[in-house]
Amino acid sequence: MANLAISNVCNLNCPYCFAAAYMSQTIGTARPFITIEAFTQRLDFLERSHISQVRLIGGEPTLHPQFTTLVQLARQRGFTVLVFTHGLVRARPLTCLTTLSPDDCMVLVNMNATRSGSVPDAAETAQREAVIRQLGSRALLGFNIYRPQFNLEPLLALIQKANCHPAIRLGLAQPILDGANVYLHPKQYPAVGRQLAQFARRAAADGVRLEFDCGFVRCMFSDEELALLQEAGADVAWRCNPILDISLDERAIHCFPLTGRVETAVAAQDAPTLRQQLIVQTQVYRRAGIYRECSFCPHKRQGTPPGACTGGCLAQTMRRFRHQNLRFVLPAPTVGQGCQPALLGEIR
Amino acid sequence: MAAGDIFAAPVGSNFLLYAPLHHVLAFVNAPAYRQIRQGLQGEGEVAPTIRPLLSQLAARPLPPPTARTGPLHPPLFLGIIPTRGCNMGCRYCGFAAPKQTGPVMSLALARTAVDAYLNLLTASNERHANIHFFGGEPFFAADVVHFVANYATGRAAQVGMSVHFEATSNGLYSPTRCQWIADHFHTVVLSLDGPADIQNSQRPGINGQPLFEVVARNARILSGGSAELIIRACVTAETAPRLPEIAHWIAAEFSPRAVCFESLTPSALSETAGFYPPDPWQFACHFYQAAQILDAAGIQTVLSTADTSAIRHTFCPVGQDALIVTPDGRVNACYLLEEEWQRQGLDLRLGQLAVGADQFDLDITAVQRIRQIPGQPKPRCTYCLCRYHCAGGCHVNHVGGHGRYDDLCIQTRLVTITTLLAQLGLHDVITVWHADDRLLQQTAWQPDDRLLMQSWDL
Amino acid sequence: MKTMITPNPPQTYFCPPHIRWAYDAACILVVNEQTRQAHMLVAEEAAIWDWLMLGYSYAQLIQFIAASSDLPTVQAENHLRQQLQTWQESGLLQKVAHHG
């Protein structure tokens, strides 16, 4: 799995956007969109990595002026296509996507993307729903949880109405390591966990499955809540791995929140090699987790088989680490004694 | 059947039925109320819809909470008072600088307190320790807190114990110190009365200077750290109508786990400063509006006497064997100043702690006596539906007027009933009820909440 | 001939920028981003690290160590010096080079 950034621009302003640091690095650059030549090289990269799906990200990927050409290029080489979009898609890219078979194309629509920096307004919601209706079963609804109170009920109704893919992809808004986006604090996870467990049951009754994106942790759910989720068929997972976001300038980034901190040059390497390099870069932080208790938590034991909790999002974890510009003066020991118990030390 | 623990409060033409020991909370109309009363007395016909409720009320209730007995239990927590001094000049506070200039706890005494406490827990096979810091302002003697936090963590780890640290603080310190608190503490109760004009008026610096910016900045740091932040706002007559505004502001600016709105405890000091407690009727209505706003942001709203989440024997640490060590080594059951409890004729001293001792020197007679204090309910509590939550309130400050409800009682009763109605989702009922003074009065002044003692002419 | 005894100069330590740490439930996790090594500081070692990073002076550190370990001041001093030496050897602290 690797995500290809094809656009560094977005026309919305989501408060929780974790690509903001990535996009801000490229403000004012001459080329905010991937070139056809570079995109062809990315497809080569996917091929040599034995990856069969092209995952298009941004910014907003559908803003790429040659979006249709890029999708066609990917299809011509036999890739299936997954597009991550805010859902306010213009006519041409939308037509391009709706002409593809649902078997070859999936569109993950972020349902709470907005221009307002707050929640989507009525016009945005209406426009997005119209797009989703056209996409039909190609549409997979996604929702970023960035506040402890949220309402997923309208998504169930929309899935029925628009005959979307019967699942909801849930993301926990994570912090940009060096930035200032709105994100869900780990203290708020248990409150979210309670609501998700309740919602999973209602979703299952409608034949809708919950899928968890990265950053969820085991302890945000009680045993009963976890049982509820499993009973409801939710795809419960505790992931935090290098996704490989491939930037326009050919960097392989662990994930957008870690832009500028955990990344490596793509060069002629394949995805497993790049992923391994990023794992090595971050290994030193993996003992810790998002909570103080993680390093001793039985759910998070290093080296345990898949299924063990990773301790949550690495960006959240790394934000817990501090540095102090300390200068400490140690006075000279006195002759004939071990040390002088004098008030010589001074800190600046 | 503990029918004395089945309560009903009139809300308009209906009744809130509440029996916490039976896990019963219901909103019933007058005919249902009448049938339940008759049913409990073994009289009259009962409609099939009422029967499940009646059988739940007839079932054996939970035992009422009682006083601790026997030898010293694992204490509720170890309280450390590093200093009685404070670096703020809050205009209603008896601790405010420079009123208290008492000593700072020595590191040796702090270490002794931790050792003695952990020894107690180890002897009882306890795995978790709770250490609370009070003041004055505990971080006014930050060395003691820095020392205790590290020493206790290390000592506890040696015996396989974890430590939960909690502090009640005014938020006046550097960002670096605040970050340290956010990293080390599990719970921080931060006094922040509201936006700048309120905070600066009620909680200024020693020389009256505004300190809002510092405290608000630190609230943000705490909000983003590991510690659970609880904002405690003192509500006055002037600020009560602004509770919804305060709630909006807190929800927008911070992410506390809870906001605790507490009405001002009147004193000569507060009156001199021109601050008065809020009107209880007004407080209850605005409290509900604030709670709605905070709830929408996932933040809990608390009035300590109306916390319905647990059944309590005592309102506070008093009677729960909490050991609160003063800077000079006295061990008390209450963190308030001794002269405050002495003024009420109370002796809440448990014993003392000598530097280097491996255990507290506690007067077991005093422990037993203090345990009984909450068990001596004020007469008005006997027939009040709040008795298992409010438990009579503060033993030091909520006294007098034994047979009658006072303003604090009215406030507690109205907030408790509102909270219970909200738990049932009856927000429309609350709106109508709050809008009608006559209905509120009818509820609040009901002479006896015990169902079987009532004589409503229906 | 007169012998000149030159006393050892005071030593200044600093924490290099690639050293970061997090407070965990019962330890402090220190990572060296340069060597990609992690160190887990527990008990008194963690306490001294924290007090050091809080900016306490030499004298205050001695006081804390003496109080927490129940040691006489002289031994507390030796203990602190040894600890600083250990951290310097493991790269968590570095000495500022003194010239002249």
The pLDDT of residue B51: 92
Task: Compute the average pLDDT of residues B41-50.
Answer: 88
Please write down the HEC assignment for all residues of chain C. CCCCCCCCCCEEEECCCCEEEEECCCCEEEEECCCCEEEEECHHHHHHHHHHHCCCCHHHHHHHHHHHHCCCHHHHHHHHHHHHHHHHHCCCCEECCCCC
Q: Which residues from chain C sit within 8 angstroms of residue B110, using beta carbons?
A: 67
Interface of C with B in 26-85 (CB under 8 A): 26-27, 42-44, 46-47, 50-51, 54-56, 60, 63-64, 67-68, 70
Interchain proximity A149–B257, CB inside 8 Å: no
A–C interface: beta-carbon pairs under 8 A = 124
Q: What is the rounded distance in angstroms from the CA atom of residue B409 to the CA atom of residue B97?
A: 31
The band of A303, judged by pLDDT with boundaries at 50, 70 and 90, is low
Query: Is the predicted ipTM greater than 0.90, yes or no?
Result: yes
Using one digit for the tens of pLDDT, what is the confidence trace for B103-126? 899 999 999 999 999 999 999 999
The full DSSP string for A285-335 is: GTT--SSTTGGG-TT--TTPPBTB---S-HHHHHHT-B----EEEEPPPPT
Task: Compute the average pLDDT of residues A114-142.
Answer: 95
Instruction: Provide the sign of the torsion angle of the four alpha carbons A302, B181, B104, B265, taken in this order.
Output: negative
| Domain residue ranges of chain C, discontinuous segments joined by + | 13-94
In this structure, the number of other CB atoms found within 10 A of the CB of residue B291 comes to 24
Find out whether B264 and B306 touch, Cβ atoms under 8 Å.
no
The residues, ordered by sequence, that sit 6+ positions from A25 with a Cβ below 8 Å of its Cβ are A259, A260
The answer on pLDDT for B299 being more than 80 is yes
Find out whether B101 and B137 touch, Cβ atoms under 8 Å.
no
The band of C97, judged by pLDDT with boundaries at 50, 70 and 90, is confident
CATH architecture of A3-319: Alpha-Beta Barrel (3.20)
Find out whether B169 and B188 touch, Cβ atoms under 8 Å.
yes
| Domain residue ranges of chain A, discontinuous segments joined by + | 3-319
Interchain proximity B297–A191, CB inside 8 Å: no
Q: For chain A, which chains pass the contact test of at least 3 CB pairs under 8 Å?
A: B, C
The pLDDT of residue A306: 66
Q: What is the rounded distance in angstroms from the CA atom of residue B2 to the CA atom of residue B58?
A: 8
The answer on pLDDT for B3 being more than 80 is no
B183 interfaces chain C, CB cutoff of 8 Å: yes
Structure tokens at C40: 């887990």
Q: Which of A230-234, B161-165, B368-372, B395-399 has the lowest mean pLDDT?
A: B395-399
Interchain proximity A330–C74, CB inside 8 Å: no
Q: What is the rounded distance in angstroms from the CA atom of residue B348 to the CA atom of residue B150?
A: 30
Q: Which residues from chain A sit within 8 angstroms of residue C51, using beta carbons?
A: none
Task: Compute the average pLDDT of residues B390-407.
Answer: 80
The answer on pLDDT for A347 being more than 50 is no
Interchain proximity B298–A188, CB inside 8 Å: yes
Complete domains list, chain B, with CATH = 3-65+381-388+403-453 (no CATH), 78-364 (3.20.20.70)
Q: Which residues from chain C sit within 8 angstroms of residue A325, using beta carbons?
A: 14-15, 17
B300 interfaces chain A, CB cutoff of 8 Å: no
Using one digit for the tens of pLDDT, what is the confidence trace for B73-100? 788 899 999 999 999 999 998 776 666 6
CATH topology of domain C13-94: Arc Repressor Mutant, subunit A (1.10.10)
Structure tokens at B163: 């430590």
The residues, ordered by sequence, that sit 6+ positions from B390 with a Cβ below 8 Å of its Cβ are B305, B306, B315, B381, B384, B409, B412, B416
Interchain proximity B298–A292, CB inside 8 Å: no
Using one digit for the tens of pLDDT, what is the confidence trace for B313-361? 888 888 889 999 999 999 999 999 888 888 888 999 999 999 999 999 9
Interchain proximity C74–A341, CB inside 8 Å: yes
Angle value at C-alpha B251, between B246 and B257, nearest 5 degrees: 110
* Closest C-alpha among B398, B439, B311, B314 to residue B23: B311
Instruction: Provide the sign of the torsion angle of the four alpha carbons B245, B248, B249, B251, taken in this order.
Output: positive
Distance from CA of B295 to the nearest CA of C (A): 30
Distance from CA of C98 to the nearest CA of B (A): 29
Chain mean position to CA C28: 14
Burial B80-112 (b: 16+ CB within 10 A, else e): bbbbbbbbbbbbbbbbbbeebeeebbbbebbbb
Distance from CA of A229 to the nearest CA of C (A): 29
